[in-house]
Structure 1
């Protein structure tokens, strides 16, 4: 599953490439085949990620889960605190500090060869 604060039409394409079964992003309102600039539903940002995950779990009758969560942003702290296992990747400074305090895993990826 991928939950991102990116527009859902992009998240779905990326999720498909990564073979993720479920993907959630920010759903933009469409009117007359054009994006209006307004968000539909709960945006998958900060606490919204937790809400959307919990809605999905409830809708799919999923009770017992073990959540691994990868993130780079302190904006994701609400979901970090709900996850069972957090791994930060190239985290922002605030997230690095909290990750140190919480003893979360930290990874540093470099795309240079």
Structure 2
């Protein structure tokens, strides 16, 4: 059995779904434009530089989910998929996922972006498993806080291992393991697999992949 793990934002998507969700709720008047837009952009720059405090960011990003009923959020997300996500779709990324699925590999998307934003995207990709940052809920409504360890940087390893344990598996259960990512933030998980692949990588990951002789793949050509 083989394992194939995929980062989502800027890897399987041509863009960042978390950042675009923030822009979406700004454009639709769901949050104050001046304050939210500037903070969203600042956090995104911190993410790209590898300096983001994930808990500070989640307090910011999850707060709007607690301010509206779940049913309204679900309707908004359907609109978000049409207006933002469809434009980020990469046929080559879908083909990559389908190739691993067709080979019978155990496949999962592993993403720091919260599961509310990413769940419908992962289902559209046809990936059967997702390891994502979990927004806490009470009686089906979001609280504005995360639950458990965020799937960010080394937290991705912890969350993947817990997921594998829930299936009665571990790293040694697989002949080959892959992780595809664009981001320097994913170096810890890339180091865990037998086949790390840098996908349209940021400058830091690009340099590290070249130094280590890892494959570099583009899904945007």
TM-score of the two chains, using structure 2 as the length reference = 0.47
Question: Who is 1:102 aligned against?
Answer: 212
Deviations 1:1-58 (A, max 9, x none): 1010111122221121111111121111234654333110111100111001111111
Question: Who is 1:2 aligned against?
Answer: 109
Question: Who is 2:120 aligned against?
Answer: 13
Alignment of 1:59-74 (within 5 A): 59-63=166-170, 64-65=173-174, 66-74=176-184
Tell me if the contact between 1:11 and 1:24 (Cα under 8 Å) persists in the aligned partners: no
Alignment of 1:1-113 (within 5 A): 1-31=108-138, 34-63=141-170, 64-65=173-174, 66-110=176-220
Tell me if the contact between 2:198 and 2:217 (Cα under 8 Å) persists in the aligned partners: yes
Tell me if the contact between 1:90 and 1:108 (Cα under 8 Å) persists in the aligned partners: yes
| Greater CA drift, 35-44 or 25-34 | 25-34
Structure with a larger share of its residues in strand: 1
For the pair shown, the structure with the greater C-alpha radius of gyration is: 2
Structure with higher RCO (Cα < 8 A, 6+ apart): 2
Structure 1 gap segments, 5+ residues each: none
Q: How many residue pairs get matched?
A: 111
Taking only aligned residues, the RMSD between alpha carbons, in angstroms, comes to: 1.6
* Residues 59, 33 of structure 1: alpha-carbon distance in 2 compared, 3 angstrom cutoff: closer
